[in-house]
Structures are given as structure tokens and as C-alpha cells.
Structure 1
């Protein structure tokens, strides 16, 4: 696979699923025009923008050269640090500015009026002009005496910023004059977080030794201090709705609320996140708080608990640890079941993130596991599902690493199910290796170390079965893939090409392609009939699991997630591929199937109460009998003052019958066919009935209608409509036809055309039946 390309010739990237947050703190921006606070989170090379109102994804940014290292924002832009550059984005997806000049990776960004301040890992501070993208100021600091760790702007301090250092000191700088204003000696411990308090001149300073100081930087005096006993402080914020509360997030995932008046702990949330809390911010003038973490989650909390604490209000989350197994849970290809190393199971929607849901972690007891972590089961190794009876009972079953039992899950209730299936294996060391939920959804088949029916030259580490084609794919330890026919128990194909351990294999829905992923960072597509490699491409990190849908999904409704390339326009089938093939009209069955049974339909739909005659209107417009409301304006044409009666005005023929009489060539009947397609079944019956001489029609009109059907049969178009119209015509006018020699001649031609069409159709059907039967007998 040395010549593998980075892009595939078959597959194209669609979207990233299940990625919500990284270790980079989120950015909150209140947009006055929207009246909503927007939250921006880093997801590697991109950042997502969520709305606080519905917590749904609004936009996805463009791709960065590498992973985002820091973020910040103001009322106009979102600023992202990536490698040595800063990128400014508008509306979450439009790149406006790029600021270059740093010689190392940027790790701190602070918007500062018309400027933006940034600090890189070489301890260089730069100030850029936002509009001109020019460098305004550069300050170099010594790594030995003052390594910058924090950056903030105290309110009311004009042109001044406060820097915290690894050595414990803090410095107040004037950016406009590029002078050091004051140095705070600190407390001999590294400064982790600095956050301005609502009170003037007061800044909260969190240190590495787990102490928090509220310090007046103008007087250089400590107002109060706290000891944080839940690990180091990773983030800090103050409530902005009038309550004297300081909130801290820890490196262990806990959240603590401090009462600044009583100088005590007000409340706490244990295990709010499963990793360090990267970002924490209380929203302006609202009892709300938002947090994000490296555990791939973004959460909103509301302060409405009796003890002054907060409860979880909304959340967006994915797997806290890398996903290891994905499977489609339904044939439409819209929903995916994803299992991760964190023992959790998630539902991911391929169309919109709004429908993404977490089913929780696998545990022996769902209620007790919320308090005790040791009840959580090991990661999921196998899963199978069947949604046939999902409303009645659990529909998903999973196996877990080195465990005998299988756990069930409820897709309907989005949680761990009620059953734990323990297999009575005789051997103590035996573990469950594979399972399958039957198509009916009633049974789960669990297998353990099975006896070998076939002897292979190499050991197998992964299998994949395609039920419909009875093919079994084996991923071998020597990096090859063996394909076996289960019915004959013979090796039919062998694929060789990977240079690393094969992590997953899967068939496409037609069992024509086999797709495999490997630790060599390649994705290969093998053509089974020709036994050839048809496509290979490389990914940045090894793929651990892959799955193909069984059917193609319908065209999704687009969300507001930036500019989306829909590719080529949707293919439209022509009206007729070939004149030799019989083509149906595509009309709904209700438009032609019940033409012979309209009398039964009318009796069934007859109202129980008598109809009331509406009052006559002062005027009326004549309408045309069709499925859509159309006015008959033909009567309004011509000389309205003409009072003499003409033979044409004395005719009792309907407008449709008059059009039939005007047809002289074969293609003239096409307009009449189009007119019939627009009529309702009741209107078609009325038109056919009125063609009889005793009903106001004529033999000529009836002859033209038979010629219309003959033209439809000879063109091989609208085959089912022609048969339906002919049946209705024969049912209504049998007596009239037997008495007219002219109609019998035309009807004989129609019979010949119909016989030719049916004979062609019958021959094609019989041929296909014979081919299928021969293939089954092979």
C-alpha cells in the first residue's frame, strides 16, 4: 500500500459525526440581532457553532491546516489559533483575516478593542491590528523568569492587561505605551486561571497549589481566599445575574459553587464531566452556566436547586474515549449505533446532529452505577440489533470484553435494557465471542470458542457474514482476507495487500464490494466478482470500525451548517427508455385501478344525511372537471354579442369529445391523453359514458376514443392506463359496439395491438423466471 493516495476515487467525505468538544475552552458570544448567545467549540481542525436556545448545530467552520490550539471571540469575529497563525471568522464559517508573524504555536488569544493580543509557546506576546492584519507591538519575555500562562483584561483598566506566569508572579502592562505598570509578587505557585470579578479592581486568581485568591490589584491586597479540595482549578467564572456566587471547574470534572458573602461552599456537582473542565462561563443576566470538557461534551446548567446549586438543562455529547465499533441500526442508513472505549453506546444521525442521543454506559445495575463507577461493564466488543419489535421489547444486544454475559438495550427508551443474558458455558475461561439478533427480533444467538469446521492455514482475528449471499469474510493474522462460501464451505476469494493488522471488514448491500480497514491507515475496497482491488486511500489515524448502509438514504433536509456541496444534480428518468419496452405512466393507482368499481365506491361514500342545496350565487364561472380547480374560459371567447345559434353551439358533445373529433393524426391523440391524466376517476367515467349516441355522443367520438387507446398501446407508453380505459369503455358500451360495424373494425385493431403488447411482456417475464430458477439450481 505504498502507493495509496490520500483521497478515494469511490468515496467522498460527507460530515464528521459525534465530535462536540476538545480540551480547548469554548467561546460564548451574545448576538444582539439574533437575541441569542452562540457557543463555539473546537472539534480538531474545525469549530462548531451552537445556539443556546435549542442547543442545535448552526454552522461548521472551514478546515484549518492542523488542530486548533486556542479560541476567543468578540462581537464581530471568532479567533482561532492554529500552529503559528491566527484566523478570524465571520458568521461561523467565513474566513476574513489571517494574522501571521509568530515563530511558535499560539496558545493564548485575547481580543482587545481594535487589536488582538496573542502569546505563543516561545513566550512572545504580539499585538495585531484586526482590520489591517499588521503587527502593532511585540514583547518578548524570559522563559526562566516569567513564562506567561494566563491573559486577561480587568474592566475599567484602559489599555491594560494582566499577565500570569508559571513562576507565580503577575504583571500589569500598558499595551499602548508598551510599559510595565506594576508587578504582583504572587504566592509562590504557578498561576492557572485569572478572571476579573464583577467588583471593580478585583481579580480571581487560581494557583497550582489548589488555592484561590480574590485580589484587589489596585491596592495589591487579598480580599478573601479559598482552598479547592477537588483537584486543581481548570476554569473559573462569576454569576452575572446578581447572585454573589463564584463557580470553579476542576481538573477532575467537578464543579463547585462558592458563596462570596458567607465565604463557604454553597453547592457542588460531582463528576459533572468525566475529564477536566476546559471551559466554564456563566451567561449574562441569566441563571445559566455552560461548560465544556475534553470528554467530548458541551453542557448547559441552570441554577434553580434549593441549595443554590445547578442542574443539567441541556447537553451535546459524544464518546468520551475513541469509538471502537459502529453499526447501522436500520436499513435507511440514517441512524448509527456507535460503541466507544468508555463503555457507552450512542445513536448518531447521519443527517442532523439534532437527533444524536446517548444511551448511557453499560452497567450491571443502571441505577446503582450512577453512584458507583465499579459497576460499569468493560467496553463493547460486538453488537447486533433488529428494530422489528422495538416498541414491545429491547432491540439491541451487546457483548463486552472478556465477559460471558450479553446486555440488552432499548432503542425506544434510549437506555440500557432490562435483560442480562448469561450463557451457561461449561468452561470457566470461556467468553462470549459473537452474537446476532435474529431478523424477527425475538432471539439473540450467542457463540463462544466454536469448533473449527474448516482448517485454515492462518489464524483469524475478525469475521463478517453477509446473510443474503451466504458469504463469510475472514480477516487473518497475516493481514490477508479470506472469503468463504458458507453453503459449500469452500474458499472462493483471497485478498492480499494490507501491511498492518486488519481492524474491520464489511460488505456493501449488494455483496459486490468488500471494504476493509487496517492499522496501516488505509481503507481498501475489493471487487468480489473480479477479485481485484478497485480503490485504496489513506487516513490520518487508523480506522477502528466501519459500516456500510443496506440501502441508500433519502435526500436529507439541510440544516444551516454553512455552505454544503450537494454534488451532481439529481438524476431524472426519461419518459421512455426505449420504444420497444413497455413503460408505465407513474400515475397513482387510485387514478385508474378503481375505474371499473366506481359504483361500489360511490355507494360506500354515500353520505348518511341528505345534501342541502346551497343558495345560488349572484354569478358563477363554469369549471372544467379535473383534480385541480380550473375555469372553463372557452365559452367567453368569441363575439359575445352574437345571438344567432350555430350548429356547433347546438352540439351536445363535451369539450373533451370535441377535441377527440378534431384528431386526424396519431400524435394528435397525445394532448387528449394528457387531458385524461388530469381528470379524476369520476370525471373519466362521465366522459366515457357520455360518448354513447343516446347520451349526447356519437359513433364517431367512440371510434376516436378506441383509436386513442390503440395509439397508446402501439407507443408502449402508459400501459396500465390504456388497459384501464379500455376495460371501462367495453363495460359501458358493450351493446353499442356489437351493433356498429365501424366500431368493430377499430376494436379489432385495438385487440391486435393489445395482444402484441401482452405477448412481449409475457415473453420477458417468462425469460426472467427461467434465468432465476436456473441460477437457484446451480
Structure 2
């Protein structure tokens, strides 16, 4: 069975920020910055609080994360029965295994880590060694731990809350129960240390908040909320006595501890339960996250102690249902979900993503709020389908969306990131129970076609929102619901498909029907590739047909899906058709050959698919998944054999891509270290055996080695040097017309000796000595370092002195060739190796040709050069081909 699809491979997922687990807050002492860590499935993300920019994405675990905490150095994530410690927000450095059930609670305490599983087993770990320091067993019937807290200044003490309502104070060093608190008759859901010593905040399942002194076992004050259990507690530490209490309904209440009353509320802070709320130490900032896939930072600068939203990162709170690439660069993806929002996600960086918001019924919602209407009554239903155009989006609205069960379609403005000014409703349709089911915007961006469930197809002007006519006799283009509408690229033809199993072709301007095609089965959806004129229809019997709009004939029929076909996407050149269905398969059909060329199976059924206009990415959305999953087109980067697959082909299962790119590409421009001591990254001298590394020396040091003779001739002075007119008075001279210095008198030994010592004539340079030593030890680092420090002229002198005529010893020429061979084998200093070898052969080729051993070495060196250049040439050709393709696609 194959490993997966040959054409597409998983790259990464977009739009995931947080889940139902509480976030972890940490402070980097050296960077003086706060970081918030949120769990996303099997990995976690780290954001800086200053801009909420993503800093790092951790490596994936084997199971989903069930609990997440952090201390000054490490991030601890529990998945199943194991606990993993991560350094630098990414790398797993240690694993703690010992629990028999799922770990639910974690608490770092100095050099220890406390973990509690679902069976009541509590283990205190030594963080450094990973050994079990202490093990406590609680009976879930009498005391089931539900919350953990370390009281401030209480050395080696931990406070445990239970589902039965009781609290216990333990000494984890001596393994002794110090005190038991009777509780308040309700399950403990939150424990939080207050800025005051001995005082902790207790949240219960009944919505009660208790401020309790654990040293005196005395309740100082208590509050009551009507929003259900307390999911999280947080105390301000900037001098304002306020405690924040989060609720499962998405609200946050702020209680004044001095006046003992409610001071402010954050209504609908999250659309789902608030997982955690944390105040930054010494700052009026509150961080919240929830299961609605959102992280929010609130600042307390309002009168009366209120807060406003400072910054946020949020995606879809409910699974997206339809997606489409927006623009011609393929960098932005529009997505509509069951939460009713329309959002744009950037494939480049998360800071370019934006939300267009939730649709409202009308522009007078502020007035209706004053009349007491509920918050949810002002919102439009979820978007079922939408269409967009970029031609005139800077002038007026360029996006039109249809809502579930609603007759009027809404317009949206991409640049302003808001809902548009028009509600497109057919005239005289008051009280009509029909709903908009299909929409398409013309390529010019001036008109929009909307099909209704009653069979009506209407044309509107996007600039004014005025109705410009309808198709069919009596305003009914089909006898059933309209399943799809399309307009060609030149606004000549309009194509409509309905549940009456008919495909009709109309003239766009005159709105007269030109042709009709009987499909046999009702279509579920329709997609037009405007450049090629190919129209794809997904039928209710799980078959796909392709119609050529020029000849108006069915040219292709594809069978193979075993479930409802949810969505389709054409490749930019119109050669491939990608389809997704409820059978959890993603299939790629080749239109020229009419064959299935790629197919793979995913974990959950895909409901939407879109291919970028540049053809580099395929985007999919899946059932019960909040993210948008990107798949890379491998045919752009390498040779992919797209052979027709057999009819009985069994697709292989492929795991959905995670938050981190599969090739471990760059995650963030600003990566931060977790420890106080920054370990600077040291680049290796060589990245791989198949790559080469340049020397990074100036070109003047090696590029002119073969042209030294021409440089000397060019720099020769035009006139001989002129002698100085006078000589210093203190130098002794000889009498005569020509000034000459008086030589010092020679000693008697020098006068008598007539022997010339060899050391006086042939002095050995440091390079020659280093080369001889390297030839014996076979390590040429020292001579290479000396050559790199020389300029062109001294280097030429050194190489000239290697031969016997230049005073060199025997074997130096072979030693130099061995040095060049080792340099080419390592791939380092690729430019220097070729320059040095060229100059060496220019100087000593005649003497080398008379030595058989040297010729064998040269032949071996020539083979190595040819092999290295062949690999580089293949890489160069592949890169040039890819660049040429990208340029042609952009043009």
C-alpha cells in the first residue's frame, strides 16, 4: 500500500490559536517580556503578550495535550499518561512516565513537578532527573483532586481542592497532611493565590467565590455569580484590589475586594467557556483564552474599573464550511464557518490574517440594543456559500454571501474588513420563504448572480445594490432549487443548474435561454473554470461530469467517490480537478486523459477545498476541525509521475498536517530562547555532503590569481624611481661623484670563509613547513588557514616555491594536490579551491606532467571535480526551472 498521495503532501494548518485548556503564562527575565502558551491539539503555541505574535510552535506529541503549565525555564505538557518537558518552547527534552490514567492537573513547584491523574494518583517528580520524589494516592470517592495551588511563602506546601468540596494542605517534602478544610458544600473548580499572604481565592461549581485565609481557616468575604461554575480566578497585582472570575458562558466578572461588590463585567468576552483568565504581574492587563479558538488581551483604562479589548488572535469558533482563495497571488484564503463569521487567513504570516466579523440584520443594531433585544438576535445565520472578486474591491464591496435559510444575500468589503452596505433581496419578495442557495460574482466585479431555492435567478449591480433583472419566464429559471450559478470570463454566458436535473445556458445581457442539457441526476454543486470554459458538476449519485461550454457537450465523466461530493477545485491551468467527498478521500482527476491520478484518505471528511491561483497550495477544511489545512503541490518542486490509478485502487491514510511545517521551515521572524542564558546558534561549517560552501572572502583575494602578470604590467611605473637629492648627514658615505654608503667593516671570519650556507639562501616559509607537517598527519587545516590570510602576490610566491626549481623539497607538489582534494571532498571554500588549483596548474603543469604519481593524483582530482559540478549543475537547472515557472505564472 502506498504511503500517501503522490501529488500533495501536508504542509501546515492555519487559524488555530487556542482550545478548551487553560493557557500558561511565563515571564522571560532577560528579555523582560511575558509570553502566553496555549494548547492546540497535539502541540502548543507560544505568543508574546506585547503584540500577540507567534514566537514558536512545539513539536507534536503522540496524543492531544490534556494539561499545560510553564515555569521560568520549561513548558510541561501532559498527553495521556505521560508528561513532556519542552525547552525553547519547541524541543522535548525530558519525559515523565509513571501514571496509569490520564493526567489532569499539573503544578510546577521549584525543582519539583506535581501531577495528578484521573484515578487520584498524585506524583511529585524531580524535574532535573525525572525520578519520582513522592507518590500520594487519593480515594476518588472521598477526595478527588480538582484544583492545585501553591500558597505564597509556604515552603514545600501545596493546597489541593476536591470535587467533594474539601481542601487539604500537604507538605510534599515530609509527605504529611498538615490541615483539612471542611469546604463550602460544593466542588472546588479554581484555586488562586492572592497578592496577600495566607489568602487564597476559591471558586466553586455553584458560582460562589470565596476569599479565604488558610492560616486562620477564616472566610474573609464571598461573592456569588449566576453564570454557572467558576472556571478561573485572577487577582490584580498592580495595587488595585480586584479579582476576575471567568464563567462557562463566556463572561468575566470583576469584583472589588475593598467595597465587596461587582465593579464591572466583560460580557461575551468569549463566545464559549472562558478556559483561563490571568493578570500580568504589576500591569493592568488581563489575558483570557477559551474554546472559541481565541486569545484576548484586555486593558483596564476605562472609568469605573472597566476594561476594553486591546489585542486579540482568533479564528473560527465553529468548524468552517466553505473556503476560497481571494486575489491572484494565492496568499489569502477567505473562510466562512458555522459560527457565522467571515475571515481571511494569510498563508504568509498570521499578522496579515483578519476577520470581517459577523453579519448583522441591519444597520440599526445599536438602536435595537437599547430596546432590549438579545445579543444573538442581532446576528445573521451562518454563511452557506460566498463568491468574491478583486477587480473593483477598492471601489465598492467585492464579496457576496448567502446565509442559511435567509432570502437576502449580504455584501462584504474586504479592505475595510466589515459587512457591506447592501442586502440583496429580489423585489416583491416580502414574506417569501425562499432562501439564497447559490451566488457568483462576475470577473469584472460589477455584477452578482444569486440563485434561490424557489428556482429564481436574479442579477444585481454591486455598486448600487439595485436589481437588474431575472432569468426565465415569470422569474423562474428552474422548477426546483438552484444548485449553482456561473458567469464566464467575458460576461457573455450565464450557466445555471437546478434540482430539476437541468443545466441551462443563458445570454448574460439579454437573459434569453440558448441551450439546455439534461443531466439525468440532480447536481449538488457546480464550478466553472473561466479560462478554459470547463464546467464541472457534482451529481447526487456521486458522479462528476465535465461540460465544455464552447461545444456544450459532456466531455468527461468520473466515477469513484463513495459518498456525497462536498466541494471541487480546478488547478490554475484547468488540467486537474480536485474533489472532496464524505468518503474522506481527496481525489485529483486529470482532464486531458480522463483518469484519476492521485487519491489519498484523511481522518475526517473534508467539506471544502480550494486551490491557490499560483498552484502551490491546496487548502481543505474538514468536519469538526477549526483549522484550514494546507497541502503543498509537489509537482512544482520535483518530478512527480502522475500515472492513471487502477479502478480498484485503495487509497492510503494521510495524517492532517499540524501547526508546524513538515519540512521544519522557519516558524517566526522573532524566535526567542526560554532560558536566561541565550545560546547563540552556531552555523556548522558544512550543511550537507551534497552542498558546497563558499569562503566569503573578497573577490580580490582569489579572482585575480590567474591575471597577476597582466596586473603587474599594468601597474609598472612609467619612469624609473628618482634617487633622493640629499642623504641624511648622520649616514657615512664614500667620497666620489656618486653618493654611496660606507659598508660596516667585515669580521675576520667572514673575510676568510668562502662557503655559502643553504639556510642563508633558501629560507622555509611557514606555509611550506605547515604543508609538510599536514602531509604526514593528513590534516590540512593549518596550511589552508595560512593561504586564506595571504594576498594574491604573496600567495603566488608561496605556490612558486613549491617546486624543486623554486627551492621546495620533494613531495610538496603532491602534498598540495592532496590538500586541494580534501578541500573539495569536504565541500568547504569551493571558490578558493578552484582558484588555488588553477594557479597551481599554471605554475607547475610542465613538471607535474613528467611525474607518473602526480598524474594519477590529477586524474583522481579531475573525476572529483566533474562529479561535484554535475550535482551543482542539476541543482542550478532545477532552481532556474522553478523560477521561470513562477515568473510565468505571475505574469
Kindly indicate whether residue 434 of structure 2 is the aligned counterpart of residue 437 of structure 1: no
Matched residue, 1:485? 548
Matched residue, 2:238? 241
The 8 Å contact of residues 571 and 615 in structure 2, kept in 1 or not, is answered as no
CA distance in 1, matches of 2:552, 2:271: 48
Matched residue, 2:574? 511
The 8 Å contact of residues 325 and 610 in structure 2, kept in 1 or not, is answered as yes
The 8 Å contact of residues 22 and 294 in structure 1, kept in 2 or not, is answered as yes
CA distance in 1, matches of 2:283, 2:713: 69
Secondary structure of the residue that 1:12 maps to in structure 2?
strand
Secondary structure of the residue that 1:500 maps to in structure 2?
coil
The 8 Å contact of residues 205 and 228 in structure 2, kept in 1 or not, is answered as no
Return the match for 2:127 from 110, 126, 130: 130
Return the match for 1:301 from 285, 298, 319: 298
Q: 1:429–1:235: structure 2 CA closer, same or farther, 3 Å change rule?
A: same
TM-score normalised over the length of structure 1: 0.71
Return the match for 2:94 from 82, 93, 97: 97
CA distance in 2, matches of 1:388, 1:459: 33
The 8 Å contact of residues 59 and 560 in structure 1, kept in 2 or not, is answered as no
CA distance in 2, matches of 1:209, 1:237: 18
Secondary structure of the residue that 2:609 maps to in structure 1?
coil
CA distance in 1, matches of 2:287, 2:16: 17
Matched residue, 1:428? 432
CA distance in 2, matches of 1:431, 1:80: 47
Matched residue, 2:411? 408
Kindly indicate whether residue 669 of structure 2 is the aligned counterpart of residue 560 of structure 1: yes
Return the match for 2:380 from 373, 377, 387: 377
Matched residue, 1:389? 392
CA distance in 2, matches of 1:552, 1:635: 57
Q: 1:287–1:429: structure 2 CA closer, same or farther, 3 Å change rule?
A: closer
Kindly indicate whether residue 21 of structure 2 is the aligned counterpart of residue 40 of structure 1: no
1:418 is displaced (CA, Å) by: 0.8
CA distance in 1, matches of 2:108, 2:39: 18
1:422 is displaced (CA, Å) by: 0.7
1:55 is displaced (CA, Å) by: 1.3
Matched residue, 1:203? 200
Q: 1:366–1:349: structure 2 CA closer, same or farther, 3 Å change rule?
A: farther
Kindly indicate whether residue 451 of structure 2 is the aligned counterpart of residue 447 of structure 1: yes
Matched residue, 1:639? 717
Stretch deviating more after TM superposition (11-20 or 22-31): 11-20
Deviations 1:279-316 (A, max 9, x none): 10000111111000101100001110011111100000
Kindly indicate whether residue 358 of structure 2 is the aligned counterpart of residue 354 of structure 1: no
Kindly indicate whether residue 551 of structure 2 is the aligned counterpart of residue 548 of structure 1: no
After superposition, the CA RMSD in angstroms is 2.4
Matched residue, 1:271? 268
The aligned runs of 1:761-776 (5 Å cut-off) are none
Q: 1:522–1:164: structure 2 CA closer, same or farther, 3 Å change rule?
A: same
Deviations 1:111-138 (A, max 9, x none): 1111111111122111111111122222
The 8 Å contact of residues 407 and 433 in structure 2, kept in 1 or not, is answered as no
1:318 is displaced (CA, Å) by: 0.4
Matched residue, 1:476? 539
Return the match for 1:520 from 583, 590, 601: 583
Q: 1:115–1:304: structure 2 CA closer, same or farther, 3 Å change rule?
A: same
CA distance in 1, matches of 2:593, 2:363: 50
The 8 Å contact of residues 56 and 667 in structure 2, kept in 1 or not, is answered as no
1:231 is displaced (CA, Å) by: 2.7
The aligned runs of 1:535-614 (5 Å cut-off) are 535-552=598-615, 559-560=668-669
CA distance in 1, matches of 2:568, 2:12: 21
1:490 is displaced (CA, Å) by: 2.2
Secondary structure of the residue that 2:10 maps to in structure 1?
coil
Kindly indicate whether residue 26 of structure 2 is the aligned counterpart of residue 22 of structure 1: no
Q: 1:211–1:345: structure 2 CA closer, same or farther, 3 Å change rule?
A: same
Q: 1:480–1:123: structure 2 CA closer, same or farther, 3 Å change rule?
A: farther
CA distance in 1, matches of 2:32, 2:232: 26
Q: 1:179–1:366: structure 2 CA closer, same or farther, 3 Å change rule?
A: farther
CA distance in 2, matches of 1:282, 1:643: 81
Secondary structure of the residue that 1:109 maps to in structure 2?
strand
The 8 Å contact of residues 323 and 335 in structure 2, kept in 1 or not, is answered as yes
Stretch deviating more after TM superposition (227-236 or 141-150): 227-236
CA distance in 2, matches of 1:331, 1:298: 31
Deviations 1:301-345 (A, max 9, x none): 111001111110000000111111111110111011111101101
The 8 Å contact of residues 332 and 552 in structure 1, kept in 2 or not, is answered as no
CA distance in 2, matches of 1:105, 1:425: 61
1:562 is displaced (CA, Å) by: 7.1
Matched residue, 1:335? 332
Matched residue, 2:527? 464
1:173 is displaced (CA, Å) by: 1.0
Secondary structure of the residue that 1:16 maps to in structure 2?
strand
CA distance in 1, matches of 2:199, 2:309: 30
1:431 is displaced (CA, Å) by: 2.5
Deviations 1:625-657 (A, max 9, x none): xxxxxxx9899601343499xxxxxxxxxxxxx
TM-score normalised over the length of structure 2: 0.62
Secondary structure of the residue that 2:304 maps to in structure 1?
coil
Q: 1:6–1:205: structure 2 CA closer, same or farther, 3 Å change rule?
A: farther
The 8 Å contact of residues 248 and 255 in structure 1, kept in 2 or not, is answered as yes
Stretch deviating more after TM superposition (404-413 or 454-463): 454-463
Deviations 1:561-610 (A, max 9, x none): 879xxxx99xxxxxxxxxxxxxxxxxxxxxxxxxxxxxxxxxxxxxxxxx
Kindly indicate whether residue 427 of structure 2 is the aligned counterpart of residue 364 of structure 1: no
1:140 is displaced (CA, Å) by: 1.6
Matched residue, 2:217? 220
CA distance in 2, matches of 1:347, 1:477: 31
1:409 is displaced (CA, Å) by: 0.6
Q: 1:562–1:13: structure 2 CA closer, same or farther, 3 Å change rule?
A: farther
Q: 1:64–1:248: structure 2 CA closer, same or farther, 3 Å change rule?
A: same
CA distance in 2, matches of 1:351, 1:437: 26
Give the structure, 1 or 2, with the largest relative contact order (CA under 8 Å, sep 6 or more). Answer: 2
The 8 Å contact of residues 522 and 539 in structure 2, kept in 1 or not, is answered as yes
1:415 is displaced (CA, Å) by: 0.7
Deviations 1:160-205 (A, max 9, x none): 1111111111111111111211111101111111111111111111
Deviations 1:394-420 (A, max 9, x none): 111111112221111111111111111
Matched residue, 1:160? 157
CA distance in 1, matches of 2:541, 2:28: 57
Matched residue, 2:467? none
Give the aligned length.
575
Deviations 1:679-732 (A, max 9, x none): xxxxxxxxxxxxxxxxxxxxxxxxxxxxxxxxxxxxxxxxxxxxxxxxxxxxxx
CA distance in 1, matches of 2:3, 2:421: 45
1:476 is displaced (CA, Å) by: 2.0
The aligned runs of 1:76-95 (5 Å cut-off) are 76-95=73-92
Deviations 1:242-261 (A, max 9, x none): 11111111111111111101
The aligned runs of 1:49-88 (5 Å cut-off) are 49-88=46-85
Secondary structure of the residue that 1:251 maps to in structure 2?
coil
Stretch deviating more after TM superposition (244-253 or 362-371): 362-371
1:458 is displaced (CA, Å) by: 2.3
